[in-house]
Chains A and B, each alone.
Chain A
Amino acid sequence: MILLPAKKSHPLSEQSRSLRLDILEMINTAGFGHIGGSLSSVDILISLYNTDIFNFDKDHFILSAGHICPALYAVLAQKNKFPREELLTYAQFGSRLQGHLNLDTPGVEYASGALGQGLSFACGLALGDKNHHTVCLTTDGEHDEGQIWEAIAFANKFHQGNLINIVDYNGYQLGGSTAEMMPLGELASKYLHFGWTVTTVDGHNFYELENALKKAKSSSIYPACIIAKTTFGKGISFMENKSEFHDVKNMPEDIYLAAKNELQKY
């Protein structure tokens, strides 16, 4: 067993903290937002956009779960795709940063919102642009959608070695835990049987994420799935693993302040 350095020492740890705070500020200002999934997925996005494994000026990134856009907006602002101040316009009238993704946001390649479509779009894009990689981010809850499984079969048929699907496996969705809503069973072996390569990682560990992304990129004919085990609401203890924090409306000030206090120490 290889002992990995502690997470805190990773150079991206500071971003993990500051972008969480950005997400909280966006959602608090808007009085709306999907906070649980944004906090579970943000480290995956930081890893994608801050390692030199992919260059998303040429490679493609498709966020299939459009509701966790606060996390993507925070990362894109950090990459200077648009001014950081613009984050506070999230979900407001006239903003480029819509409540679910749209194409007017610089750096957004696919406008999603209805679940289950992004992986199919990624399959088409990877087929049409074989010179680059297409990375898709889906969620475990999204695998309830039948269309996801149509896409998984498709990627196998067309030997899409340039396609990577990262599953943000946070275990929760709007109505409860994914296990309770519609159990996924052995997701890794399902992907394997559909002809994909699969790696399971801690979705908050930048070392594991980077290694898995490198491995997935090196696949030649097999589409690659990375199951990123994450914590729903990661970083705010009282939101963690609580499906009622799938989305928040008009966050009470004490909740906001308590959340901010925790994230400042994250």
Chain B
Amino acid sequence: MNSKNIENKSIRQAFANTLFDLAVKNPNIYVVDVGLRPSLYLDKFAARFKSRFIECGIAESNAAAVAAGLSASGKTVFLTSFACFSPALNWAVIKQSICYNRQNVKIVGSHAGLMSGDLGATHQMLEDVALMRTMPGMEVFVPIDEAEMVKMLPVVAHSPFPAYIRLPRISTPKVFPSKYPFTIGKSQLLSVGRDITVLGYGPILTQLFSDDFKKYSLDIINCSSIKPLDFETILKSIKKTGRCLVIEDHQKNGGLGDAIASLILSSRIKCKYIHLAVDDSFGQSAKNYFDLYHHFGLSPLAIIQSIKSLLSKS
């Protein structure tokens, strides 16, 4: 990634800062944590809002239902953890106590995807989008960078529905234009082209903003609102380009690619389609997540190969 002249910023830090600002104004905002306060930069929140920071210890199932109970008493609750623990360990609790009981809990899963690097397969949550997309009533959001996180959080906090927000571990370059709003159910065209529709979510998409991609004419669509998904913008682009490339730091099964493929088929659009994702395997440790992206075919090189393949006549 050519990001020498772009300052990398932490989405997690932006999450914590924005949540703090929201909590200053809104006394109903609570955090339910499972022993990971420092990892989500929530020390400041916990110190300032002692009675609104509920530390449950390493007990994600209890925490999810405690969050639901707090919501039933009228609070807006952020349930914070790593994605590999919440929504993974406590999925059935999220289903019953949060979604079936129509509770307003925002599940924040950090350290998601291969980007968690050295932590290895147990912590590289690659199934969270699938788990949350299938949950009735659950909205699913992934900010692409800290700028979008800052825009996204107040909107999601204001929404009365349960939501899942996926966060990466690492700091990432800023690509989200400051003038753009975040709207639930809307995706944004980050670059306008004519040849290929590139769809994805989260920091993996920032790879496309290096010089290596400048010679291609790409519609780059940031699907930060995975559910509800912006069918209109996506279909309009695919109708124009006739070529679709989906990239995600997630399992192929159940991810955004499945949603897009289903959309294309049911809309009877003819298009060439490539889905780059982790194909039915576990992650592994690496000091630098670029090595993992290379290994799993998600690197800029692999993306360029797919672009060439989509552009070829065959």
Q: Which residues of A contact B (CB under 8 A)?
A: 102-103, 109-114, 116-118, 120-129, 146-147, 150-151, 153-154, 158
Of the listed residues B67, B68, B72, the one surrounded by the most CB atoms of chain A closer than 10 A to its CB is B72
B67 engages A124 (CB within 8 Å): yes
Could you show 22 A-B contacts with beta carbons less than 8 Å apart?
A: A102-B100, A110-B72, A110-B101, A112-B96, A113-B96, A118-B65, A120-B64, A121-B65, A121-B69, A121-B97, A124-B32, A124-B67, A124-B69, A124-B71, A124-B73, A128-B70, A128-B72, A128-B75, A147-B59, A150-B56, A154-B59, A154-B62
B96 engages A117 (CB within 8 Å): yes
B57 engages A153 (CB within 8 Å): yes
B92 engages A114 (CB within 8 Å): yes
Question: Is B299 close to A, CB under 8 A?
Answer: no
- Known pairs A128-B75, A146-B61, A154-B56; A103 contacts B66 (CB<8 A): no
B92 engages A121 (CB within 8 Å): no
- Which residues of A have CB within 8 Å of B68? 121, 124
Q: Which residues of B contact A (CB under 8 A)?
A: 30, 32, 54, 56-57, 59, 61-75, 92-93, 95-97, 100-102
- Known pairs A109-B72, A117-B96; A123 contacts B66 (CB<8 A): yes
A120 engages B97 (CB within 8 Å): yes
Of the listed residues B69, B93, B102, the one surrounded by the most CB atoms of chain A closer than 10 A to its CB is B69
- Known pairs A111-B100, A114-B92; A127 contacts B69 (CB<8 A): yes
- Which residues of B have CB within 8 Å of A114? 92-93, 95-96
Min C-beta distance of A65 to chain B, whole Å: 13
**CA–CA, A114 and B92, complex, Å:** 8
Question: Among A103, A116, A151, which residue has its beta carbon within 8 angstroms of that of B101?
Answer: A103
Min C-beta distance of B281 to chain A, whole Å: 30
Question: Among A103, A126, A147, which residue has its beta carbon within 8 angstroms of that of B65?
Answer: A147
- Which residues of B have CB within 8 Å of A128? 30, 69-75
Q: Given A111-B101, A129-B73, 8 more contacts at CB 8 Å?
A: A110-B97, A117-B96, A120-B62, A120-B65, A125-B69, A128-B69, A153-B57, A154-B62
- Which residues of A have CB within 8 Å of B59? 147, 150, 153-154
Question: Among B72, B74, B97, B102, which residue has its beta carbon within 8 angstroms of that of A117?
Answer: B97
- Which residues of B have CB within 8 Å of A112? 96
B100 engages A127 (CB within 8 Å): no
Question: Among B62, B71, B74, B97, which residue has its beta carbon within 8 angstroms of that of A150?
Answer: B62
- Which residues of A have CB within 8 Å of B74? 128
**CA–CA, A117 and B97, complex, Å:** 7
**CA–CA, A116 and B65, complex, Å:** 10
- Which residues of A have CB within 8 Å of B75? 128
Min C-beta distance of B61 to chain A, whole Å: 4
B61 engages A125 (CB within 8 Å): no
Question: Among A116, A121, A146, which residue has its beta carbon within 8 angstroms of that of B66?
Answer: A121
Closest to B55 in A: A157
- Which residues of A have CB within 8 Å of B100? 102-103, 111
- Which residues of A have CB within 8 Å of B65? 117-118, 120-121, 123-124, 147, 151
- Which residues of B have CB within 8 Å of A123? 62, 65-66, 69
A117 engages B61 (CB within 8 Å): yes
Closest to B69 in A: A124
B61 engages A120 (CB within 8 Å): yes
- Which residues of B have CB within 8 Å of A147? 59, 61-62, 65, 93
B66 engages A120 (CB within 8 Å): yes
Closest to A114 in B: B96
Closest to A148 in B: B62
- Which residues of A have CB within 8 Å of B57? 150, 153-154
Min C-beta distance of A145 to chain B, whole Å: 9
Min C-beta distance of A138 to chain B, whole Å: 13
